[in-house]
Chains A and B, each alone.
Chain A
Amino acid sequence: MAKVVIDGKEYEVNPDNNLLQECLSQGLDLPYFCWHPCMGSVGACRQCAVKQYRDEDDKEGMLVMACMTPASDGTRISIEDEQAKDMRERVIESLMISHPHDCPVCEEGGECHLQDMTLMSGHNYRRYDKQKRTHHNQYLGPFINHEMNRCIACYRCVRFYDDYAGGTDLAAQASHHHVYFGRHEDGVLESEFSGNLVEVCPTGVFTDKAFSENYTRKWDLQTAPSVCAGCSVGCNTTPGERYGTLRRITNRYNSEVNGYFICDRGRFGFDYVNSDSRLRRAVAQVNDEAAEMSDEQVADLLAELKSEGAIGIGSPRSSNEANYALRSLVGEENFYSGMADDERAVSRLILELSRDKAFHSPSIREIEKADAVLVIGEDVTNTAARVALALRQSVRNKASQLATDNNIPVWQDAAVRELAQHERSPLSILSAYATRLDDVASEVIVESYENQAAIANAVAARLSSNAPATAPLSPELQAHVDVISEHLAGARRPLIVSGSSNGQIELVKAAANVARALQDKNEVAIGLCLVQREANSFGLEMLLRAENGLGAALDKLSKGEVKKAIVLENDLYRRASHAAVDAALDNAESLVVLDLLPTRTTAKATHVVPTTAFSEHEATYVNYEGRAQLSYQVHQCKFGAQPAWQWLHSSDVNAIVQECSEEAKGFDKLSTLLPGIDQFVAGMKVPRQTHRYSGRTAEIANLNVHEPKQPQDNNSVLSFSMEGIPALKDASVLGASWSPSWNSNQSISKFQDEINGELKQGDTGRLLVERTESGAYLMPETDTVQVAEGQLLLARSLQIFGSDELSAHATAIQQRATGPYLSLSPEDASRLGISQGDAVSLNGNGAIATACIRSRMKTGTASLYVDDSIDYYALPAAIGPSKSEQQGSDRSLDGLIISDRYEEGY
């Protein structure tokens, strides 16, 4: 700790930080633009000028940039000094010279950092009356609007997009007053984190396109703290609603999980909530005729099914409460997994490994700290994108180390990058195809699953003699083993990443073996990050008995052992071969399907019961770490849908959480997530609406001039109202952050205990599983797939835009999605007579995919991305693709973001 004097008052600060960061940590207001808490300082905008004094007697002082000055012991500065204030005012005046004062028509208005800083600096009269420079605005794809005239050239966009997120298609262009931030030509922004530009840009250059089309000011949005249901990371989000429709999603800071950034699937993949195709009424399908059911009829039906021993099939995309409610209705013995069997087996293993003392499940923040990483077979960019962004930061630890060794503060961003050049911490990737992280990887090894596991197990054996001995590898693969072992052995915070997305249990076993081998050697718990495909895969598994897989449930139904089933928010056709699902569902006498959108499974149902979307109910989800997080209800569902837990159990979510805590093994900490109303000021509820929320009395004036009673929320600590004590007092229910003078998302610093720290009184979630067990090495089981002549060994590709069931329905996401495609090597393609973009028959039974020839595919292997048109689980492990005359998907592969698309002649 160091002591600095700011305007005559002494503060205790961290000398490793810069003055700007420390001033903000102390709650002082100091304007800034180019600095960002996650991206350090470059001193580009000159906005954070303060007066620095040599000592107590120095009355003159000199102007310095707070962001470029270390907060070292004894520093004396003044923020309030007249010269400093004048400088800040003049700087903003010059930055604003060509800024159009179009705030009334700008989407950023009302949450604009530039507005806030202008006001804070005192610059309120423009003297420049000449012509302003104007720019061409580019088409940047379905997510982002471009309005370059608003740019103040702070460079934050490219520092985030290129430097932080590894994007390559956005850059600063031209010079002096022509400086331009854009692509080299119009086109879709390639990075899957492009949406963060909306929040990173201090003004309205990059805005949320989908939101613009359905726009509402920040203060008119009803918000609540929510958790993204797009993948297993569980990023914290703030969805905003107005007039009954969900309008947008923004990042909500959580120091351990997502920090300041979320991926584009999470940000743009939500408008299925507003879809006209939502299921609205409970319906009984009797003799091909649909009859609406009342709530009582549904309750009676469920009670009847319960008494008749119906089975329940859960869902990894549903909350703990929904799954628990179903389990408690049908009984634990009758509650089955809703995941594909292969994936579920991995999920089970992941749960077991999560109890093992040898490992540690790293949060996103901890992943960023790793100094050597081995990724085994999991394409995290497409399955858990936030993890990929964190891995991208981990490779920069070498740079931080070099900076520290050279006495350069790590927040000196440009200097540290200059120093490090291409030096990176090792990141080794084993994958079936080239990935989006390859550009920062030290090794990229494209191999079959079997060889990936073999390499990883050989690494384990190399690191510890206790690990299972492995068969000798080819010299080429052995060379990889040597390098990876060396990286991991030399690391202080090694990290192994794998996951269940491919349904390849051998990969996860191998990952655990490598981590255990490192633990043998280092004798500390080793970071083992095992991601899954869906928001609550982990939570669902915790509720399941080991033997209750989906295959077992389908078997029981098709054999007639049970006649009745309840399926919770799950399209089973995505989970097993269509033949198996048909056999089971056709045989069921009663099939009750709860879901929010129609699926092939609801089409088979005898009774369809409509459920609410993630923003319409309160619920908890368990992320890949085993971290349970509470997601509040944002708005009410205006039609007959109810939360699944309400249909199945009771209407009081608190009671279900409480019961789940007590009854379900491993969930005992779940109820501690619930805030008590007694912890709020005067026992008052926290309003979901801002204090400026406008038009409440007029919202439905087109229908009725009488103002209805505000809807009540009896169970939550939040209210559907603007009255009450706003979240200012308690950040644990912080929806949209706001603080006096800070209307933009930068106001988050006012809620952090220090910059980049935890939210005051914050809630980062609860790690549910205790690590109490000591496990052993897992014996690899090689089950070599027989590949006949002309066949290719099949791996699975997933896509961030398309592989997730619900977000794939979102309009913006659909514009980025592709149809099914088969990646194959140029050699195999030419041997099979397949050209780029051809329709390819996969197995002769009608499954068609588009050929995507990729220069780095391994010969003899192929990787397949499927959408719902392909019966994936009916495909064998090796296929013989052939050119098809049949027309395939009408979606072209042009939007596919891959680095190794093969072009003839290159």
Chain B
Amino acid sequence: MENNLIASSAKKARKLTEAEIAEIEHEKELYPDNQAVGLEALKIVQKHQGWVSDESLLAIANYLDLPIADLEGVATFFNLVYRQPVGKKVILFCNSVSCWIMGCDSVRSHITDTLGVDFGQTTEDNEFTFIPVPCLGDCDRAPVMMVGEDLHRNLTNEKVDEIVAQYRGKD
């Protein structure tokens, strides 16, 4: 591989899977250069691996011939690119103005009480990771949160219990 960059690293890249490579190759066709593909590649790897490990980051940097430091800059800029392992489902909980007015604080405490995790933490059974998010764009139905890909509105403590039960144990 023609690689103009020097990425001295104490860690070794892992091998990207064939599925990952296929999807990255597809993205490459859509962008003028590899730098633009970086973010897509991070998302692809996260989709397959659940998060982006140092070894994955190195693998993408090598594959796309991007400086690892730049790619890390992209990965850490976006807080939905996970550079630490997360649970099977990520709860993105809005704590912005509208949700705050509508009482998200008490819902948040309820989640913390029932799941035993605060913001930034993962449940011991590795089912849920609980993360705050500034706004999910659904203020007229605040408070809101996302679990995985699904949006849940008009949250109450009871509704949260139902939602958690609904996702627990599912992949």
Residues of A bordering B, CB below 8 Å: 162, 168-175, 178, 180, 182-188, 190, 421-422, 438-439, 855, 894, 897-900, 906
A439-B7 contact in complex given A173-B77, A174-B76, A174-B77, C-beta closer than 8 Å: no
Residues from chain B with a CB closer than 8 A to the CB of A182 are 69
- CB–CB A899/B5 < 8 A: yes
Choose from A169, A170, A171, A422 the contact partner of B8 (Cβ within 8 Å): A169
Residues from chain B with a CB closer than 8 A to the CB of A172 are 73
- CB–CB B6/A190 < 8 A: yes
Q: In the bound complex, how far is the Cα of B1 from the Cα of A183, in angstroms?
A: 24
Q: In the bound complex, how far is the Cα of B33 from the Cα of A184, in angstroms?
A: 22
A169-B76 contact in complex given A185-B9, A187-B10, C-beta closer than 8 Å: no
Q: How far is the CB of A68 from chain B (nearest CB, A)?
A: 23
Q: In the bound complex, how far is the Cα of B89 from the Cα of A509, in angstroms?
A: 68
Chain B: residues with Cβ within 8 Å of the partner, total of 25
Contact with A along B90-129 (1 / 0, CB 8 A): 0000000000000000000000000000000000000000
- CB–CB A439/B5 < 8 A: yes
Q: In the bound complex, how far is the Cα of B1 from the Cα of A173, in angstroms?
A: 27
Q: In the bound complex, how far is the Cα of B54 from the Cα of A190, in angstroms?
A: 19
- CB–CB B6/A898 < 8 A: yes
Q: In the bound complex, how far is the Cα of B72 from the Cα of A175, in angstroms?
A: 12
- CB–CB B5/A171 < 8 A: no
Q: In the bound complex, how far is the Cα of B54 from the Cα of A186, in angstroms?
A: 13
- CB–CB B3/A900 < 8 A: yes
- CB–CB B69/A171 < 8 A: yes
Q: How far is the CB of A490 from chain B (nearest CB, A)?
A: 25
Q: How far is the CB of B160 from chain A (nearest CB, A)?
A: 28
Q: Counting CB contacts under 8 A, is B145 at the interface?
A: no
Q: In the bound complex, how far is the Cα of B9 from the Cα of A250, in angstroms?
A: 30
- CB–CB B4/A438 < 8 A: yes
Q: In the bound complex, how far is the Cα of B73 from the Cα of A175, in angstroms?
A: 9
A interface, by DSSP: helix, strand, loop or mixed? loop
Residues from chain A with a CB closer than 8 A to the CB of B62 are 906
Q: How far is the CB of A892 from chain B (nearest CB, A)?
A: 12
> Which of A168, A180, A894 has most B Cβ within 10 Å?
A168
Residues from chain B with a CB closer than 8 A to the CB of A855 are 1
- CB–CB B4/A897 < 8 A: no
Q: How far is the CB of A518 from chain B (nearest CB, A)?
A: 28
Contact with A along B59-87 (1 / 0, CB 8 A): 00010000111111100110100000000
Q: How far is the CB of B42 from chain A (nearest CB, A)?
A: 13
Q: How far is the CB of B94 from chain A (nearest CB, A)?
A: 17
Q: In the bound complex, how far is the Cα of B5 from the Cα of A171, in angstroms?
A: 14
Q: In the bound complex, how far is the Cα of B7 from the Cα of A855, in angstroms?
A: 15
Q: Counting CB contacts under 8 A, is B11 at the interface?
A: yes
- CB–CB B6/A171 < 8 A: no
Q: In the bound complex, how far is the Cα of B128 from the Cα of A816, in angstroms?
A: 46
Q: In the bound complex, how far is the Cα of B32 from the Cα of A423, in angstroms?
A: 13
Write 18 A-B pairs (CB below 8 A) sorted by A numbering. A162-B70, A168-B67, A168-B69, A169-B68, A171-B69, A171-B70, A172-B73, A173-B76, A175-B77, A184-B9, A184-B69, A187-B8, A187-B9, A187-B10, A855-B1, A899-B3, A899-B5, A906-B1
Q: Counting CB contacts under 8 A, is B57 at the interface?
A: yes
A185-B33 contact in complex given A171-B70, A172-B73, A173-B76, C-beta closer than 8 Å: no
* Those of B114-168 within 8 Å (CB) of chain A: none
A190-B8 contact in complex given A175-B77, A422-B33, C-beta closer than 8 Å: yes
- CB–CB A169/B7 < 8 A: yes
Choose from B1, B32, B57, B70 the contact partner of A168 (Cβ within 8 Å): B70
Q: In the bound complex, how far is the Cα of B3 from the Cα of A900, in angstroms?
A: 7
Residues from chain A with a CB closer than 8 A to the CB of B57 are 184
Q: In the bound complex, how far is the Cα of B33 from the Cα of A150, in angstroms?
A: 35
Q: In the bound complex, how far is the Cα of B70 from the Cα of A744, in angstroms?
A: 30
Name the 6 nearest CB pairs between A and B, nearest first.
A168-B67, A171-B69, A439-B4, A184-B72, A171-B73, A174-B76
- Interchain pairs with CB closer than 8 A, number: 72
- CB–CB B11/A185 < 8 A: yes
Q: In the bound complex, how far is the Cα of B90 from the Cα of A80, in angstroms?
A: 53
A899-B4 contact in complex given A169-B68, A172-B73, C-beta closer than 8 Å: yes
Residues from chain A with a CB closer than 8 A to the CB of B69 are 168-171, 173, 182-184
A168-B6 contact in complex given A173-B72, A183-B69, A184-B72, C-beta closer than 8 Å: yes
Closest to A172 in B: B73
- CB–CB A899/B1 < 8 A: no
Residues from chain A with a CB closer than 8 A to the CB of B70 are 162, 168, 171
> Which of B3, B7, B69, B71 has most A Cβ within 10 Å?
B69
Q: In the bound complex, how far is the Cα of B129 from the Cα of A317, in angstroms?
A: 64
> Which of A173, A178, A187 has most B Cβ within 10 Å?
A173
Q: In the bound complex, how far is the Cα of B10 from the Cα of A894, in angstroms?
A: 10
Closest to B61 in A: A184
Q: In the bound complex, how far is the Cα of B6 from the Cα of A656, in angstroms?
A: 48
Closest to A188 in B: B8
Closest to B77 in A: A175
Q: In the bound complex, how far is the Cα of B70 from the Cα of A421, in angstroms?
A: 16
- CB–CB A899/B6 < 8 A: yes
Q: In the bound complex, how far is the Cα of B83 from the Cα of A180, in angstroms?
A: 15
Residues from chain B with a CB closer than 8 A to the CB of A173 are 69, 72-73, 76-77
Residues from chain A with a CB closer than 8 A to the CB of B1 are 855, 906
Q: In the bound complex, how far is the Cα of B32 from the Cα of A173, in angstroms?
A: 24
Choose from A169, A170, A184, A422 the contact partner of B6 (Cβ within 8 Å): A169
Residues from chain B with a CB closer than 8 A to the CB of A174 are 76-77
- CB–CB A168/B7 < 8 A: yes
> Which of B5, B8, B54, B72 has most A Cβ within 10 Å?
B8
Contact with A along B39-64 (1 / 0, CB 8 A): 00000000000000010010000100
Residues from chain A with a CB closer than 8 A to the CB of B79 are 175
Residues from chain A with a CB closer than 8 A to the CB of B3 are 899-900
With A171-B72, A175-B76 given, can you name 17 additional A-B contacts, CB distance below 8 Å?
Answer: A162-B70, A168-B7, A168-B69, A168-B70, A169-B69, A173-B77, A174-B77, A182-B69, A183-B69, A184-B68, A185-B9, A185-B11, A187-B9, A190-B6, A190-B8, A421-B32, A438-B4
Q: In the bound complex, how far is the Cα of B35 from the Cα of A532, in angstroms?
A: 38
Contact with A along B20-34 (1 / 0, CB 8 A): 000000000000110
Residues from chain B with a CB closer than 8 A to the CB of A421 are 32-33
Closest to B68 in A: A184
Q: How far is the CB of A422 from chain B (nearest CB, A)?
A: 7
Residues from chain B with a CB closer than 8 A to the CB of A186 are 10
Residues from chain A with a CB closer than 8 A to the CB of B5 are 168, 439, 899
Choose from A169, A185, A188 the contact partner of B67 (Cβ within 8 Å): A169
Q: How far is the CB of B132 from chain A (nearest CB, A)?
A: 13
Residues from chain B with a CB closer than 8 A to the CB of A171 are 67, 69-70, 72-73
Q: In the bound complex, how far is the Cα of B70 from the Cα of A170, in angstroms?
A: 8
Q: How far is the CB of B5 from chain A (nearest CB, A)?
A: 5
Closest to B4 in A: A439
Closest to B15 in A: A905
Q: How far is the CB of B134 from chain A (nearest CB, A)?
A: 10
Residues from chain B with a CB closer than 8 A to the CB of A899 are 3-6
Q: How far is the CB of B65 from chain A (nearest CB, A)?
A: 10
Closest to A897 in B: B6
Q: In the bound complex, how far is the Cα of B3 from the Cα of A793, in angstroms?
A: 25
Q: In the bound complex, how far is the Cα of B88 from the Cα of A421, in angstroms?
A: 40
Q: In the bound complex, how far is the Cα of B5 from the Cα of A153, in angstroms?
A: 26
Closest to B75 in A: A173
Q: How far is the CB of B138 from chain A (nearest CB, A)?
A: 23
Residues from chain A with a CB closer than 8 A to the CB of B73 are 171-173
Q: How far is the CB of A172 from chain B (nearest CB, A)?
A: 5
Q: How far is the CB of B84 from chain A (nearest CB, A)?
A: 13
- CB–CB A185/B54 < 8 A: yes
Closest to A422 in B: B33
Q: In the bound complex, how far is the Cα of B68 from the Cα of A182, in angstroms?
A: 11
